[in-house]
Structure formats: C-alpha cells, structure tokens
Amino acid sequence: MSRTRNGKKIDLERGRAGVRAPSRNRAENKAKKSPSEKIKEKASGGLLVNWSVTRLTDERTGALSLEFTFRDPDGARQTRVIGAELTYAEILRELRKYSFEVPPGTKGTEFVEGLIKAAPKRSHVNSDMPGWKTASSNADPRKEKIAAYVTPSQIFGPDADRYRLCGSLTSQKSSLVGRVDGSLEDWNEAFYPFVEASNYIAFCIMCGLAGPAVRFAVPTESPCFNLFGPSSVGKTGAVKAGAAVVGHPDSIQDWSITRRALEETAAAYNDQLLVLNAAERLPQSNRKELLGFVAHSLVDGASSKRSSAVKNQLPELSSRNVTLSTSNLSGRDMAENCGLTWALQEEVRFIDIQVPSAEEGGIFDQLGTGDDRPAEARQLIHELEDTLSAVYGALLEPWIQFLMKNNSRQLFDMLTLRFVKHVGARPGAEERVARKFGLVYAAGRIAVAKKILDWPKSRPREAAVALFSRWREHHRSPSGLCAALSRLKNLLQNATAVPISRPGEPVAVQASAPFIGVRASYKGREVIGLRQESLVEVFGTKATALLLEWLKEQRLVESGHGQRTGMQLPVPLKIKGQLVSKPRLLVIDPSELTRALGKIT
C-alpha cells in the first residue's frame, strides 16, 4: 500500500525514507542481531560476544588507536589499547598476552578483523588537557560550536560521551577538579556567612567562576592575582574557597615545583582556576625562574619552545587559566630578594593584593573595628576549614551549562567595561589591570543574576572594587626608601617579625613568616635588635642598604666594639634548626626609632 506526499511516493509498509517499520512481533524483533553482533558471532563462532572495540583519536597528535574490551580468565573486565597501524596478526599477538579465549590460527585473525569492522566508525577523543572542546575549528570563536567541557571527574556537553581525559598530565590534586559534595542550595547556604565577612573570599569564589569563563572574555592575557601578607591571616582558606567552586578544595597546588612541572600543572587546569599556594615554600634558588615564568609565560598561556628532537617526550603546552597565588611577600619584594627585574610590565601581570594583618582581621576585612576582631577572625578561619571539607563543587554544573547554552562574550565584555569605568582606571597600566578585575566581577555578577550565586546583586562589585583598590594602593605606593620605611613600621608591630625574647629561652624563627629581629632587655633597658641577614631576606639587598643608610643618618644604631656595626647580644636564636647563641644585631632604642619613623609621611 502506498500514497503520494509532496510529490514523493511513500511506502506505508516500509515507513518514511524507505526504512522498514518496526516489527509487530516483539519476540521476533528481540531475537534479531545487529550487523556488528553478526560479524563477531561469525568470526568467533558465537563464543566471544563480550568483546568490543572502540576507535580512539589522540587530540594532540591525531594518532589512531583501538581499545579492546574483554573479560580476563578471572572474569574481570579488561581494556587494552593497541595502535591502529598494526596488522590483524600483530594485534592478535598482543591480545593473546591477556586472554586465553582468542580463537587459534586463522580464526583468531578473522575474529580480530571482525571486531574492528564491527566497531562504530565514529572515534572517541583521547585528550590530555581538560577544558572546552569544540566540534570544529573556526577562526571566529563566536561561531565555534561547543562539543564538551571536560574535567577529570565530570564531562558536560552534547558530545560528552565522546571525550576522555587521559592521565598524562592529571595529578592526584588536579584529579579532584569536578568533584561534588552537596547541592547548590547547600553550597550557597554554607559559604555565604564567609562571603559576607570577607571581600577576599567573595573575590576568590568569583575567580573560581572566571576560570571556565576566560574563553568567553577578550583579555589579551590571563589574570594572575597574588594575595600577599603575613602567615595565619587566612590566605590559604580564601583560595581554597575559590577551588571549592568547581571541585574539591584540596585541588590547589603549591609553588614548590619545577618549571616544567608548573607548565604541565597549568595545562592540567586548562580553562579552570589554577591555585599556587605559599610561594615562601619555594627554595630561593628556584624562585627567580618560577616567578619570571608565572609573570610572563603563564599569563600568556605558553610553555617553553622546544626543539623537534625532544617534543615527543616534552611537548609544547598551552593553557588558559585564571591564577590565584599566595605568598608572604609581594611579587615586587620576592623579585628584589632573588635579583629579578620587576618593573611595570610585571606588576600588571602578577597582580599583588595585600591582605591585612591578623590584628586587622586578615582576610575577614568586613568585621568592623572592635577589639574582638582578631578573635572573631580566627574563629571564622576554623569554621571555614570545616565548611570546605563538607560541601564543594556544586556550582560547576549549573555554571558550565549556562556558559554552554549562551553566547556570553558580549555580556562579559559589557560588564568588564562597566567595571573599568566605575573604578575610574587611568589609561594604560591601571586600565589593563582593571579589565582583569572586571572579568572576575562579570563572572560573579552573571552568576548572581542566574541564581547560581545566592548573593545580593551588589556583592560582586563591592568585593572586586575593594580588592582592586588594594592593588591600586600597593601599585601607587612609593618605591625605594619610603616604601621600605613604611614596611618597617608595619613589621615592627608584628609579633612574629619582631618577637619578644624571654630569658633562657631561644627565639624560634619561623621559616614561613617574615622575621627581622627581636625585642630584648639589654643592660637594664628595652631595645630592638635588628638582624641584618634577616633584613636582606625580607627587604632585599637594595632596600636593606637604604634602610641601613637611613638608620645611620638618624644615629639610631648603637656602635659595637671597635666601632663595628652591630653588637653580639646574648639573645639565642634558633634559625633553620641551628642555634645562634650570640647573634650580631643592630641595637636600637625603640622609642627613638618610633619617633624617627613618625616623621615619615
């Protein structure tokens, strides 16, 4: 029976387009075998129906391979990947190493041939880098069709089942990206008290959202923000909150790695937030190379260029990240300490944001000015640690789904420019940095509008403006002697930097915190003893020389024996595990030093 539709003859028994209509006999339908099953059954005599083959394409090299899935003699599921360039006989020899059920002789070769011919023609993609994947290459990013977004734990998108993240770059820590515990509602409820009390935590959370969003913005270089300040002020907790946006908070990395390892680490966090924690743990010998790499190559998304002879073992990598870093010293001071040139181009790439002291509440800068602020901040830090281990990663899926379904490039650009205008950034360096803060603000503002973040509408801008102001204050601060004296004044109020010496007890110097000297009793009066070697470690050689010259001009340093600079005081110091019983210190009257510093504006 047939009839005509739009001039085309349609066979009603066979259905549309000449495809046979489903059989009305369910039993008959169920008994039918697919072409691939028929091929495998013919090749193996119907014995090895549990075998299958998947075609794989290496995303980087384009190399083809075949993944065989089968049962081993114990019945456990096994997979083996074999190069597609091998002959059927060569593949058969490889498979016989792992299975006793492969047919003998020519039947084995026929079996392999049948399996491969029965495999789906569309290959899966083996990717060594996470992040956004496109269905086709297009010079205009606005016209690219997104195929998937890949993390070690979850893959999203219309072609999610086609992509696989292989383990060549994935580490134990980066594998935690994409992990989820708790619902979106749980996440917002748990974190908002900290967001309300800390511009730093709010900003780091927005950085977590900005990582996947960099692709939809138009920055010339990826943002890198460094939170610097003394220890025990909550810096690590803040950056962990950023990591908890898209995965487990323990996915953060340390600075204490080699340059090549850092290149691979950046690639392992492609299109994600990359956290580099505790730069002070990096040995001084490696700091110059790593700091220069982060300030230049990392923000440009490029690794070192290599010769063709070693590219197979050490391929050139590229990445696109938002980076959060923490350190005790600013990038400027770290660079000076290790003899690295640090000029305007470095300051706009490695963006230093100072964190207040513990006495000022540390990262919890919204607690007011009460006397109980330090204690309240310490309590919040402990509560944040408990929260981080209980709920994380719940923002990833709704955020990725929004970015995938909406071409948000114009929206990000509009909000970024709005932020630049709001902060009144000067043309040049300030505007360049303001655009990076603007990207983070835009991510937060969009997430609030789409109910992904349950925050007041104004909160993203408040946090971004507060931290941009911190950067601008640091950037505009005077260099040279004035900056060194200003920092000296702050360190003198820090009990870790200038601890009080107790009779009979050595002063233990913490390697992770700045230390410049001690407060001690000498000949019946209170003095401050500054250790010159420690000043160099904290201030750098040039700034220390300026400080010493100023101290001499102000006649603040008491002369030692034979007019030597400094005195050996019986104030034992334990430095890097070694006891110095009588260190040579610059002995200064604290009241006179306070008076002289008070004249500095």
How far is Cα 220 from Cα 484, in angstroms, rounded to an integer? 33
* pLDDT of the residue at 309: 41
Q: Is the predicted pLDDT of residue 384 greater than 70, yes or no?
A: yes
What pTM, to 2 d.p., does this model score?
Answer: 0.73
- Residue 265 and residue 303 in contact, taking contact as beta carbons nearer than 8 Å: no
Q: Is the predicted pLDDT of residue 37 greater than 60, yes or no?
A: no
* pLDDT of the residue at 53: 94
* Element at 553 (helix H, strand E): helix 541-553
How far is Cα 195 from Cα 207, in angstroms, rounded to an integer? 13
The mean of the pLDDT values for the chain is: 84
Query: What torsion, rounded to 10 degrees, do the Cα atoms 382, 278, 296, 175 define?
Result: -70
How far is Cα 524 from Cα 521, in angstroms, rounded to an integer? 6
* pLDDT of the residue at 145: 86
> Mapped to the 3 state alphabet, what secondary structure does 421-466 carry?
HHCCCCCCHHHHHHHHHHHHHHHHHHHHHCCCCCCCCCHHHHHHHH
CA pseudo-torsion sign 275, 253, 255, 512? positive
The first and second tokens of residue 156, run together, are: 């999203």
Of the candidates 501, 497, 509, 514, the one whose C-alpha atom is nearest the C-alpha of residue 579 is 509
Q: 13 or 44: whose pLDDT is higher?
A: 44
| Highest-scoring range by mean pLDDT, 322-331, 392-401, 484-493 | 392-401
63-77 CB burial, b ≥16 within 10 A, e <16:
eebbbbebeeeeeee
- Other Cβ atoms closer than 10 A to 201: 28
How far is Cα 86 from Cα 92, in angstroms, rounded to an integer? 10
Condensed to tens digits (0 to 9), the pLDDT of residues 473-497 reads 888 765 566 678 888 988 998 888 9
Half-sphere exposure at residue 115, Cβ-oriented, CA atoms within 13 angstroms: 30
* % of the chain residues with pLDDT over 90: 48
Condensed to tens digits (0 to 9), the pLDDT of residues 52-109 reads 999 999 988 899 999 999 887 777 888 999 999 999 999 999 998 888 888 888 888 9
Q: Is the predicted pLDDT of residue 20 greater than 90, yes or no?
A: no
Region 438-466 average pLDDT = 97
What amino acid occupies position 430? E
User: Which pLDDT band, with edges at 50, 70 and 90, does 350 fall under?
Assistant: very high
User: Which pLDDT band, with edges at 50, 70 and 90, does 202 fall under?
Assistant: very high
Of the candidates 366, 371, 348, 218, the one whose C-alpha atom is nearest the C-alpha of residue 295 is 348
Q: What angle do CA 309, 311, 313 make, to 5 degrees?
A: 100
Query: Distances from the Cα of 113 to the Cαs of 34, 105, 288, 293, in angstroms?
Result: 17, 13, 56, 50
How far is Cα 558 from Cα 593, in angstroms, rounded to an integer? 12
What amino acid occupies position 343? A
CA pseudo-torsion sign 561, 565, 570, 574? negative
Residue 597 pairs in a beta bridge with: none
Of 182-191, 205-214, 296-305, 386-395, the range with the lowest mean pLDDT is 296-305
- Other Cβ atoms closer than 10 A to 449: 14
The first and second tokens of residue 97, run together, are: 């190493």
The first and second tokens of residue 438, run together, are: 């603007």
* pLDDT of the residue at 561: 55
Query: Distances from the Cα of 84 to the Cαs of 51, 58, 94, 116, 263, in angstroms?
Result: 17, 12, 12, 10, 30
Region 263-291 average pLDDT = 90
* pLDDT of the residue at 242: 98
DSSP class of 219: -
* pLDDT of the residue at 481: 66
Phi, psi torsion values for 276, nearest 5 degrees: -115, 110
How far is Cα 69 from Cα 71, in angstroms, rounded to an integer? 7
Q: Is the predicted pLDDT of residue 40 greater than 80, yes or no?
A: no
**SS3 helix, strand, coil % of the chain, rounded to 5?**
45, 20, 40
- Other Cβ atoms closer than 10 A to 351: 26
What amino acid occupies position 48? L
- Other Cβ atoms closer than 10 A to 347: 20
* % of the chain residues with pLDDT over 70: 85
**Ramachandran region of residue 45, left (φ > 0), alpha (ψ -120 to 50) or beta?**
left
Half-sphere exposure at residue 474, Cβ-oriented, CA atoms within 13 angstroms: 26
Of 10-14, 264-268, 296-300, 573-577, the range with the lowest mean pLDDT is 10-14
How far is Cα 553 from Cα 424, in angstroms, rounded to an integer? 41
How far is Cα 266 from Cα 318, in angstroms, rounded to an integer? 8
Q: Which residues contact 310 (CB under 8 A, 6 or more apart)?
A: none
